[in-house]
């Protein structure tokens, strides 16, 4: 038997042993069970709120087929079909009027400082968020030129670790030269 197979078998055995019904004493409550989150001093446990869904991302493939509908940039980036995404439409779906988060405000301010027209911050924010999703590599230069330098700089401010951030940075260097 090859050494690698023996190691894999050993790891699998250890993993299965952990699931083999080892009894854990649950008769005593743990410290986590006894420490509710309380609101102020009134000793009333608070429920943790559901994360707010602010956007809906509708992402499609080159042939126009739906890849998926997502509720965050992180979900778009984590999609198993991320590399097949050629376009994402973004819509604000939050409750009430769109109020920008501090991160979104910083991205919009960066875009305005880079030359985007001031005013209509919500619309500019949507363009920045859309730029952060995924652009097909075959049309990357044209798409980024369509967004413009201000939106791309805003996208890098909003999502500096986005999967395409390095491509945006490289494009900005060539756009500044051209």
89: confidence class by pLDDT, cuts 50, 70, 90:
very high
Q: What pLDDT was estimated at residue 136?
A: 87
Rounded to an integer, what distance in angstroms lies between the CA atom of residue 100 and that of residue 168?
23
Residue 127 φ/ψ, nearest 5 degrees? -65, -40
Mean pLDDT of the chain: 81
The CA–CA distances, whole Å, from 74 to 57, 61, 159, 161, 177 equal: 11, 18, 10, 11, 32
- pLDDT 10s digits, 120-138: 999 999 999 999 999 888 8
How many angstroms separate the Cα of 5 from the Cα of each of 8, 10, 11, 18? 5, 9, 10, 20
Can you give the pTM of this predicted structure? Answer: 0.70
What is the signed CA dihedral for 50, 52, 55, 58, rounded to 10 degrees? Answer: 0
């Amino acid at each position: 038997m090859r050494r690698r197979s023996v190691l894999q078998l050993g790891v699998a055995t250890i993993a299965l042993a952990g699931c083999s019904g080892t009894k854990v004493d649950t008769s005593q409550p743990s410290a986590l069970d006894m420490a509710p989150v309380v609101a102020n001093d009134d000793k009333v446990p608070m429920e943790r709120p559901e994360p707010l869904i602010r956007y809906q991302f509708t992402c499609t493939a080159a042939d126009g087929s739906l890849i998926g509908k997502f509720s965050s940039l992180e979900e778009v980036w984590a999609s198993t079909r991320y590399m097949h995404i050629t376009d994402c439409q973004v819509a604000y779906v939050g409750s009430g009027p769109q109020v920008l988060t501090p991160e979104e405000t910083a991205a919009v301010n960066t875009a305005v400082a880079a030359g985007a027209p001031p005013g209509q911050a919500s619309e500019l924010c949507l363009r920045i968020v859309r730029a952060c999703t995924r652009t097909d590599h075959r049309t990357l230069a044209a798409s980024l030129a369509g967004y413009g330098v201000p939106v791309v700089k805003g996208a890098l401010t909003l999502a500096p670790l986005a999967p395409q951030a390095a491509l945006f940075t490289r494009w900005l260097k060539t756009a500044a030269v051209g």
